[in-house]
Structure 1
Amino acid sequence: MTNFKINLLFGVVAVAIHHHLLERANIPILSASIFPPTVTDFTRNIRYIGSRTPGVEHFQNVFYAEEPTGQRRFAPPVPVSPPKGSIIDASKPGAWCPQGVGDILPFTSQVNNISENCLSLRIARPSGVQRDAKLPVAVWIHGGGHALGSASDILYTPDGLVRAAAAAGKPLIYVGINYRLGIFGFATSKAMIETKQTNAGLRDQRVALQWVQDHIEVFGGDPDRVTAIGQSVGASDIGLHLTSFNGSRNVPFQQAMMMSGAPGVNFNSDPVFVANNTVAIARQVGCAKNEDGQSIETLECLRAVPADLLINVTVNEARKARPPFGEGYFYPTIDNDYLNGRPSQLMRTGKFVKNIPIVASWVTNDGAWYASPQTSTDEDVLGSFGLWLHGFSRSTKEKLLQLYPVEDFNHMVRQNYDGGISPQYYRAAQMSRDIWFTCPVLDFSWQYAQTGGLNASRIWLYEHNATRFTPVFEAMGVPMWRVAHLSDIPYVFNNPHLEGGADNSLDQLALSETVSKAIVGFVHEGRPGGEGAGMQKWSSAYPTMRDGQRSSESASRLSIQVIGGPLGLSEVAIDRDGDVGVMTAAQQALAWEKLFGRCDFINSPQMRDEAGV
């Protein structure tokens, strides 16, 4: 037995004796908080030793799969099975999955501890939860373009969410997932497709979610009340799980919340591009043994390459091709197994898992950092997404420019604040937002209801229009980002102590608590909002949908919750043919986005075919 296990065992025994003596002397057990929280899985005879923060118990670095090294590198994850009698140190964060090290953004963690042995969970629960509590579970799938991120990032600190839920009388269990990224998670080749060793990152997520189904009960959770919550590619991945195996297998969650993302949100799902990138890396590390580099020999060679070398070469190539972080160099692709077709086509043919209530959303300026601040011409605008979506025809590009006339964005220029920013920048940012986030979200949610996914009354939409990052963006020299991508995360997590000089003012903390409690309402009751959250229960996204509309390619009416900004918290209903002159201020603000006409084209067969989504 290791020294760690011996010390833990003595510690646990000491706690038990201490409690027993106090109880016999009729003395209240006030000092329990100085001892680490302990969870025992009696069926498997496993004990987890965690840590505490005020009001929250944490269990970190809880492995759900074996170390994916050697022959397990790139392969589907193997569920972990600790030996009986194991005492697991769950008191500290584990390693992040392989990615570039160093700083990312001022309000995120510095990456300095990476390892292939990273397939772990971060679990948090309110203090004092009993084993039989049967609390609903929120499972977080982080974003990061399949290139970076971890459940341990300080941006995803779960304390505020857990405490807000408990304070509202709706306690929950939180689980964050680490999954393989980059080449380790999404490499592909002919040999890998033939041997079904593809989309490892997606398979990691699924095994992690299955671990929750199988084991969360010992932490006081209810495996039948699991809500998967993802942001950006994490949200997109949730959609891909729903379309996995053509919808023929149930998913290990009962509800979904998709923040700034939907299936195929960013990239072509055809495997050719990613396969070529895999071959390029194989050549650099000396593993391309034949002309095409897609053989089983190449795969076996890549498995033997030292991790440090493979990480360094891959990160350098990815960041050179997709600056600054290498997002979209490796990502989920069609493999004729986990993913059997383009996501938008699978949705239109009903090949997805049904009956999953969905909250979906986007952020007002989600596309802000995808456009260069130097954008000043039509060509610059089109170039803002050219690295990722390079298959657009001339007619598609011309149509996009027509749908987003530059004069629509003149009013956004703030010369005394943003500097010499052209209206073309804001035009590019809005176009990028709609192509990558807003329109895919609208398409996915509408098609899910259209093709029998579930009753339309169980789909909700919101637009997030507040940020706590304004002072950070000012310090970074990018005030034009405004309510940028990631802005919604601190509100959902109700994070009271954001890093990097972010806005932790009382007004922002109050809004964060309100938003967080609205999401807790969804996790607890299957519908977001609620009286206790400072807002009414939300109305469904498609309030007028009837059976007779099921041939429609898009909605004629939307109900959207708008969160934050000058209009505060409001429910806004807009019609395709609404008269701007008789609209409320909130309706006019949404009408300015021209969601119906713009998304009609972005979600059209022509553009979907050219984007490959």
Structure 2
Amino acid sequence: MLFTVGVLLAVSTSATLGIPLAGSPTVKLDNAIFTGLSEGPVSKFLGIPFAQPPKRDRRFRLPLAVPPYEGTLSATKYGPACPQQTPSPLVFGSFTVDIAGPPLSPDQIDDALKISRLQATDVLESDEDCLSINVIKPANISTPVLLPVLVVLICQNIFDCSNIRRNDDTGVRLVERSLQLGQPLIYVSMNYRGSAWGFLPGVEVKKAGLGNLGLHDQREALLWVQKYIGAFGGDKAKVTIWGGSAGAISVSLHMLTNGGNTGGLFRGAFMQSGAPIPIGDISDGQKYYDALVSDTKCSKAIDTLQCLRTVPSDVLQAAVDKSPNVLSYQALSLAWLPRADGVFLADSPLKLVQQGKVADIPFVTGNVDDEGTAFSLSSFNVTNDAQFREYVKTYFLPKAPDSALAPLWSAYSDDPRAGSPFNTGILWGYHQYKRIAAFQGDSVFQAPRRFFLQERSGKQKAWSYLSKRSKYLPLPFLGSFHGTDFNIHLMDDYLVRFTTTLNPNNGTGVVWPQYTPTSPQLYTFPTLGSPTVTIDNYRANGLSVLAELGIKYPN
């Protein structure tokens, strides 16, 4: 059945009937003409629906591709954000934290918390009808060769996906930079479901085969790219998927699904602060499903999952907002995140890596030095060794016996000189803050990256990096915190080169060597100065212990 204009309008609030303006770029998809925007050297086509609205009875179901497009349609504005959990404010009260270093005031703590909340504050509108895709491309380029394509999996607040409107400047910047480098590319981004809408756990969800809907949304968008990117001048055989944080973790999970068979959807992967993480079975999140069912008054329903589909959106939103989030006490032990469901993820990601069920493609993966600091401000009331051990065991490794945890306590001691921000001595050594920051950053980001590389290097082309930029500014008690490489656009040129050539090097300057088992080298950005090459052996014992615990006792 053809996708009529009237139906399309009902499907997406962002796709509206429009008349092409003189000079505006257009593209023909199926039997439809989409009109975009022209902004200097780039053309934009925004808010194009790639799947039917996941609302009402389609809520908590697999994405369903849109029928063929038809009509004259506008693609001049971003679609609404997918609903997301509202981060709860973290209140410390009126006091000044006395630490070994400059005093840390409530205002400074609030500044740090804004770093974690920043991306959530830019959502101008949201709607469950949110599955739309955007294309930013060079405006005037005459080449008979189709261009490589960079598909970004943007996700904000750690698997709580927000409107990608904020990332418009990223797409424009990268396309313009690709033109300056003489390696033009096309940039694609999409909205997809996050939080409970995209990563609902529980036995009921597993039985229905409806886990990891956010990842399925991403996959549907990648299928759209295969079908339509040629109309924009893109080469569907030269797609690289890229993400940071939860987006990078998503990229890694696409490398693990389908037994490692990409299905031709992408040929390269670029991950900033994210790798296959130590997550367990989807049933491990049952308590969050049960709480959601209770808070929406679905407990007495025969089919609680179907009942959740009928709940008014504001009621569901309020119930989701009551659940733990990244600013809650349990921090990176998240309620809503990917889990092994037997469909998208056949097993725990680390076990799939061990089994070699990984896409055989070139990839880049790296970290900043202090990944865990921005997520550890909510645990200031953990004040001693016993409380630290209880915190870790309760929220991160509840299945691990005490005997298995013993090596962890020595690997992550309460000596602030060993904590994060790393290499800052006793500064910022308030209670267990630096210890928790080191543990969280290593368990969720650093250890998975190194394990992934150790398992795959030598079997496929891989590069890795470490950034120590922004160590002392703007927030020294956070160090080179999570996201600082994005804040300073650190990887832009490397990303463009990798997308176009599958190699981050440009043939000049410091060579970024491949990561190999015999030479695990990191392209390292020091606090100041040019990149250097270092060996990836820091905190060897701790990262090894964490990888082993993650394999045996995923949470």
Query: TM-score, with normalisation over the residues of structure 1?
Result: 0.76
User: Which among 107, 129, 132 is matched to residue 120 of structure 1?
Assistant: 132
The one-letter code sitting in structure 1 at the alignment partner of 2:56 is G
2:187 match: 174
Aligned equivalents of 2:443, 2:151: Cα separation in 1:
27
Aligned equivalents of 1:113, 1:202: Cα separation in 2:
22
Aligned equivalents of 2:398, 2:283: Cα separation in 1:
14
Residues 1:398 and 1:543: Cα distance change in structure 2 (over 3 Å): closer
Task: Check conservation: 2:154, 2:161, Cα contact below 8 A.
Answer: no
Aligned equivalents of 1:98, 1:323: Cα separation in 2:
23
Identity %: 25
Residues 1:573 and 1:122: Cα distance change in structure 2 (over 3 Å): same
Post-superposition shift, 1:184?
1.2
The one-letter code sitting in structure 2 at the alignment partner of 1:559 is Q
Aligned equivalents of 1:311, 1:383: Cα separation in 2:
31
The secondary structure found in structure 1 opposite 2:48 is: strand
Task: Check conservation: 1:406, 1:427, Cα contact below 8 A.
Answer: yes
Task: Answer yes or no: is 1:270 the counterpart of 2:299.
Answer: no
Post-superposition shift, 1:177?
2.1
Task: Check conservation: 1:130, 1:220, Cα contact below 8 A.
Answer: no
User: Which among 75, 91, 97 is matched to residue 90 of structure 1?
Assistant: 75
1:260 match: 273
User: Which among 384, 393, 400 is matched to residue 377 of structure 1?
Assistant: 384
1:317 match: 323
Aligned equivalents of 1:384, 1:217: Cα separation in 2:
51
Aligned equivalents of 1:417, 1:440: Cα separation in 2:
26
Aligned Cα root-mean-square deviation (Å): 3.3
Post-superposition shift, 1:65?
0.6
1:301 match: 307
User: Which among 15, 20, 24 is matched to residue 36 of structure 1?
Assistant: 24
Post-superposition shift, 1:238?
1.8
Greater CA drift, 416-425 or 355-364 = 416-425
1:199 match: 212
Task: Check conservation: 1:243, 1:343, Cα contact below 8 A.
Answer: yes
1:516 match: 492
Residues 1:230 and 1:537: Cα distance change in structure 2 (over 3 Å): same
The secondary structure found in structure 2 opposite 1:359 is: strand
1:433 match: 441
Post-superposition shift, 1:105?
3.6
Aligned equivalents of 1:6, 1:269: Cα separation in 2:
42
Post-superposition shift, 1:198?
1.9
Post-superposition shift, 1:384?
6.2
Greater CA drift, 386-395 or 320-329 = 320-329
Task: Answer yes or no: is 1:346 the counterpart of 2:330.
Answer: no
User: Which among 400, 411, 436 is matched to residue 403 of structure 1?
Assistant: 411
The secondary structure found in structure 2 opposite 1:176 is: strand
Aligned equivalents of 1:359, 1:320: Cα separation in 2:
26
Aligned equivalents of 1:248, 1:61: Cα separation in 2:
29
Residues 1:133 and 1:395: Cα distance change in structure 2 (over 3 Å): same
Residues 1:289 and 1:156: Cα distance change in structure 2 (over 3 Å): farther
Post-superposition shift, 1:248?
5.3
Residues 1:400 and 1:127: Cα distance change in structure 2 (over 3 Å): same
Aligned equivalents of 1:39, 1:320: Cα separation in 2:
40
Task: Check conservation: 1:258, 1:360, Cα contact below 8 A.
Answer: yes
The secondary structure found in structure 2 opposite 1:362 is: strand
Post-superposition shift, 1:69?
1.4
User: Which among 19, 40, 48 is matched to residue 62 of structure 1?
Assistant: 48
Task: Check conservation: 2:510, 2:531, Cα contact below 8 A.
Answer: no
User: Which among 527, 530, 539 is matched to residue 568 of structure 1?
Assistant: 530
Task: Check conservation: 2:123, 2:163, Cα contact below 8 A.
Answer: no
Residue-pair matches, total: 513
Post-superposition shift, 1:467?
3.5
- CA offset digits 1:392-425 (Å, max 9, x no partner): 43334432231234447179889x9998643843
Task: Check conservation: 1:241, 1:251, Cα contact below 8 A.
Answer: no
User: Which among 463, 470, 473 is matched to residue 470 of structure 1?
Assistant: 473
The one-letter code sitting in structure 2 at the alignment partner of 1:481 is L
1:78 match: 64
Residues 1:408 and 1:566: Cα distance change in structure 2 (over 3 Å): farther
Greater CA drift, 440-449 or 370-379 = 370-379
Aligned equivalents of 2:50, 2:484: Cα separation in 1:
30
Task: Answer yes or no: is 1:611 the counterpart of 2:536.
Answer: no
Post-superposition shift, 1:610?
2.1
| 1:485-564 correspondence runs (5 A) | 485-491=482-488, 494=489, 512=490, 515-531=491-507, 535-542=509-516, 544=518, 557-564=519-526
The secondary structure found in structure 1 opposite 2:126 is: coil
Aligned equivalents of 1:249, 1:561: Cα separation in 2:
27
The secondary structure found in structure 2 opposite 1:318 is: coil
Residues 1:389 and 1:53: Cα distance change in structure 2 (over 3 Å): farther
Residues 1:120 and 1:468: Cα distance change in structure 2 (over 3 Å): farther
1:52 match: 38
The secondary structure found in structure 1 opposite 2:324 is: helix
Residues 1:283 and 1:321: Cα distance change in structure 2 (over 3 Å): farther
The secondary structure found in structure 2 opposite 1:467 is: coil
Task: Report which of the two has the higher share of helix.
Answer: 1
Task: Check conservation: 1:108, 1:155, Cα contact below 8 A.
Answer: no
Task: Answer yes or no: is 1:226 the counterpart of 2:231.
Answer: no
Residues 1:384 and 1:110: Cα distance change in structure 2 (over 3 Å): farther
Aligned equivalents of 2:332, 2:547: Cα separation in 1:
26
Aligned equivalents of 2:235, 2:526: Cα separation in 1:
32
2:546 match: 602
The one-letter code sitting in structure 2 at the alignment partner of 1:524 is T
Task: Check conservation: 2:522, 2:533, Cα contact below 8 A.
Answer: yes
Residues 1:197 and 1:405: Cα distance change in structure 2 (over 3 Å): closer
The one-letter code sitting in structure 2 at the alignment partner of 1:602 is L
Larger Rg computed on CA atoms = 1
Post-superposition shift, 1:381?
4.2
- CA offset digits 1:250-290 (Å, max 9, x no partner): 3511100111111225xx32122323311211121121226
Task: Check conservation: 2:248, 2:275, Cα contact below 8 A.
Answer: yes
Aligned equivalents of 2:357, 2:15: Cα separation in 1:
48
Aligned equivalents of 1:123, 1:164: Cα separation in 2:
16
The secondary structure found in structure 2 opposite 1:123 is: strand
Aligned equivalents of 1:51, 1:206: Cα separation in 2:
26
Q: Which runs of 5+ in 1 are unaligned?
A: 16-34, 474-478, 495-511, 545-556, 575-590
The one-letter code sitting in structure 2 at the alignment partner of 1:371 is S
Post-superposition shift, 1:147?
2.1
1:461 match: 464
Task: Check conservation: 1:393, 1:610, Cα contact below 8 A.
Answer: no
1:580 match: none
- CA offset digits 1:115-139 (Å, max 9, x no partner): 1111111221122145954111111
Task: Check conservation: 1:109, 1:155, Cα contact below 8 A.
Answer: no
Aligned equivalents of 1:175, 1:465: Cα separation in 2:
29
1:366 match: 371
Aligned equivalents of 2:433, 2:281: Cα separation in 1:
30
Query: TM-score, with normalisation over the residues of structure 2?
Result: 0.83
Post-superposition shift, 1:611?
2.9
- CA offset digits 1:529-574 (Å, max 9, x no partner): 214xx64442111163xxxxxxxxxxxx410001241353112236
Residues 1:446 and 1:421: Cα distance change in structure 2 (over 3 Å): closer
Aligned equivalents of 1:299, 1:390: Cα separation in 2:
27
